Amino acid sequence: MEQMILLWVLSTCLSAVHAQSFLLSSKWVPAGHREREGRGDETVMDKIIKTNEFHANRIIDGTTTLREGDIAVSAGRRSRVCFARSCLWTKSVDGHVYIAYTLSPEYTNIETQLITKGMEKIEDDTCVRFVPRTHQRDYIDIQPKSGCWSYLGSRGGRQTLSLQNPDCMELGVIAHEFMHALGFVHEQSRFDRDNYVTIMWPKIWRDRLRNFEKFKTENLDLPYDYGSIMHFGMYSYSMDGEPTIVPKNNKNIKLGQALSLSHIDKLKINKLYQCTVSDD
């Protein structure tokens, strides 16, 4: 009897060691993220997925959930399609769109500088300007909560934009979340996306299939942008390390961006907000 108990204890200990080794293994990554050693093609969305799968619950609170990996949606609110004028930020008489923000004091000076530079990525060659809040009713409250996420467009009043530190402290990630705050969905959510990419449904984690829905969005008469900072990476939410999104005409086309907005991303902002900035 004592020998049986001893064997059971030994077996339990070995199982625990094995489980710990698996969890700590460099080969283990969260659902939705695929490590691609040596290729250096990790996109902004890859980084966001990796951070959010580790840290952010898909239910932010009792009434707010994360959809498509990083878009916050509150129950009873208009969800993701935000090309109606009602959810855009107000344009000033001088032709600029001034978006007020507050910044958590929990950020370090270096992190504050990075967030500022991320906002500048949006401002360059567009009419959008981010300004520290003084008295404005509508504003973005930037907080280091769990994960990288934003609401879609202007909701009215204070709205949170989460940039967890240090995981979300990258220029491309910051710019991506501010693009959501401006009202832009992910590029592959476009209603006409099936003309340009193939979604490999069997390769996607079953509980992440909703992240690949498409919606009747206003495409602003601009071409599909494989290189948009808002495009999922080729391996987003892959179950087995195989591609989940494949370009139709040229499989060698790179999806998404790693650092900054594409030229078409800038054109989208200018068209949506009717900027007078030159498109050149």
**Nearest-angstrom CA–CA distance, 147 and 177:** 11
C-alpha pair distances (Å), 150 with each of 40, 125, 166, 212: 26, 23, 17, 18
Q: Is residue 213 annotated as a catalytic residue, yes or no? A: no
Residue 204 half-sphere exposure toward CB, CA atoms < 13 A: 20
The packing angle between helices 171-182 and 44-55, to 10°, is 90
The residue behind tokens 């910051």 is: 174
**Nearest-angstrom CA–CA distance, 54 and 219:** 33
Is 180 assigned a ligand-binding role in the annotation? yes
Max intra-chain CA distance, the chain: 86
Is 18 assigned a ligand-binding role in the annotation? no
Given the residues 177, 187, 213, 242, select the one marked as catalytic: 177
Q: What is the DSSP letter of 197?
A: E
Pairing of strands 97-103, 128-132: parallel
Closest CA to 255 of 67, 48, 68, 42: 42
Is 135 assigned a ligand-binding role in the annotation? no
Helix, strand, or coil (residue 65): strand
What element of type H or E holds 16?
helix 2-24
Token pair of 241 as six digits: 């390390």
Residues comprising the binding site for Zn(2+)?
Answer: 176, 180, 186
Residue positions annotated with a catalytic role: 177
Residues comprising the binding site?
Answer: 176, 180, 186
